Chain A
């Protein structure tokens, strides 16, 4: 059923427009795909699937472009784009523009945090992808269980509970579980699966996963900054092991990142069409 899930309006429009010209610059196309959680997840799913049977994990779109070819990635993107697009606010009441902004913001900050931990530039993409996809489960709920998701969002507003708790009450699973299960089934890279599954865990659960810790911190930071919104209004604190990783608490970490406007403006530029 998720196979039929359309992508975000901005990227769908851009892909269709760009690919109608034979001179479409590959790097522009890659950039659009990299900024849409649905496109990203679906293409990573395909290139990591048994169709190709590649012996290595494909962890990013660029990686996919080199291993399965530019034209294949391009045509996969076109086939997703022609499926239509997510509505701006579906019956679940999740504002897709603000959701995308939250995902892109988290991706951007997670990558910056990764760099700060001294991660090599060839792995920094994992942090971006982790941030971009961490809430993919919410899009699936909103698309396929809109009534239940609407009730969960309402509960967050009225009862001031966290979204995962509200989802558990209304749906019986939270978006982290669902998203994690999906990408695991899709054979997406292991680090990414953990990232999605565990991004609300307060404990380490035996995961010493740098990407996860950065996504957790980025997610909380972006929420606190009010950059976009993905339905969860409760303000979290950094889990103990995450603040231990950075050697500081949330406020200090945010402070030490300096001005994020310029970086986040790039994310903003991808919304609104």
Chain B
């Protein structure tokens, strides 16, 4: 059994308010149930509403996979209630910072410093464990496997493939396809193109054939040129990836915080009109908070 529930679908900053009541205002968090295991993808503010539902499962063991440590993917972590209750086990996985050499525990312990939070890391009652991941690492959790895939973002960002019982999903975290930093008439343009093609192939190969792709789709095609290099995808780039990887369902997420429900649906419709359905196409959806999908 593999199913998931979106707990936060916003990018960058939480954006509650009358304009976002349908799709939700919390930042990235996905609750995944794989057999009897609880796997949580990212710890944006959406992890707080999730954590409020977990008391009946105490004492619980859960596995939190952090795509990267930008705020919108970790900010809910100090409010993850199971950490405060003895008997629970919380395992946190993520990449290492290659610049400082620090592991994923920094994401939590720095947020729990005196100036930022009243409770210290040492005072958390649950059993905490941190696991640093590298590229293409497979973590076995019960009947499920989680595999890390290095994506492209202005930080080390792992996408995660979760497989269980013959079903699978892939969550990109934040991702923008690398683009050529050279001009077409520069000597190194073609060389760089070749590297890009190689990188794209390595990601597509890792994602190929999953049932569900959950993908960073922050921008419309019109918005993208002004945001190039910020590390996020667009509707067109997401549709292309979903098609290339041959997925069955594709959920667009990491919605722009300024895009209200109406705007989001308009942007979605425009993208669907721009890319008319082809035979074998995935089903495209907008990620919506509290929405559950069973694979």
Contacts and interface: CB of A to CB of B under 8 A. Distances in A.
A79 B182 CA distance: 25
- Interface residue tally on A, bucketed by range: 20 to 34
A33 to B, nearest CB: 13
Q: Top 9 A-B pairs ranked by shortest CB distance?
A: A53-B134, A71-B154, A26-B181, A66-B195, A53-B135, A27-B181, A75-B99, A51-B98, A66-B199
Given A67-B150, A70-B181, A72-B155, A62 B134 contact: no
A72 B196 CA distance: 16
A49 B96 CA distance: 12
A69 B178 CA distance: 8
Nearest to A63: B195
B190 interface: yes
A26 B198 CA distance: 20
Interface string A86-108: 00000000000000000000000
A253 interface: no
A27 B96 contact: no
A112 to B, nearest CB: 13
A62 B156 contact: no
Contacts of B154: 69-72
B163 interface: no
Given A51-B96, A68-B98, A68-B156, A125 B191 contact: yes
Given A50-B134, A53-B134, A63-B195, A72 B229 contact: no
B197 to A, nearest CB: 9
B150 A54 contact: yes
A70 B176 CA distance: 12
A120 to B, nearest CB: 10
A66 B156 contact: no
Contacts of A259: none
B290 interface: no
B188 interface: yes
A55 interface: yes
B140 interface: no
Contacts of B191: 62, 121-122, 125
Interface string B208-226: 0000000000000000000
Nearest to A75: B99
B135 A54 contact: yes
Contacts of A26: 181
A55 B178 CA distance: 19
A186 B273 CA distance: 51
B153 interface: yes
A27 B182 contact: yes
B134 A51 contact: yes
Contacts of A63: 195
Contact of B98 (A46, A55, A122): A46
Contacts of A52: 98, 134-135, 150, 156
15 contacts: A27-B186, A30-B181, A49-B98, A51-B134, A53-B134, A63-B195, A65-B181, A66-B196, A66-B198, A69-B152, A70-B181, A71-B231, A72-B98, A121-B190, A125-B191
B136 interface: yes
Contacts of B136: 53, 55
Given A53-B137, A55-B136, A72-B98, A62 B150 contact: no
B98 A76 contact: yes
Nearest to B187: A121
B130 interface: no
Given A26-B181, A53-B134, A76 B150 contact: no
A63 B193 CA distance: 10
A50 B96 CA distance: 10
A65 B150 CA distance: 13
A62 B195 contact: yes
Nearest to A77: B99
B253 to A, nearest CB: 20
Interface string B142-175: 0000000010111111000000000000000000
Given A53-B135, A72-B156, A67 B98 contact: no
Interface in B113-148: 134-137
A111 B38 CA distance: 54
B105 to A, nearest CB: 15
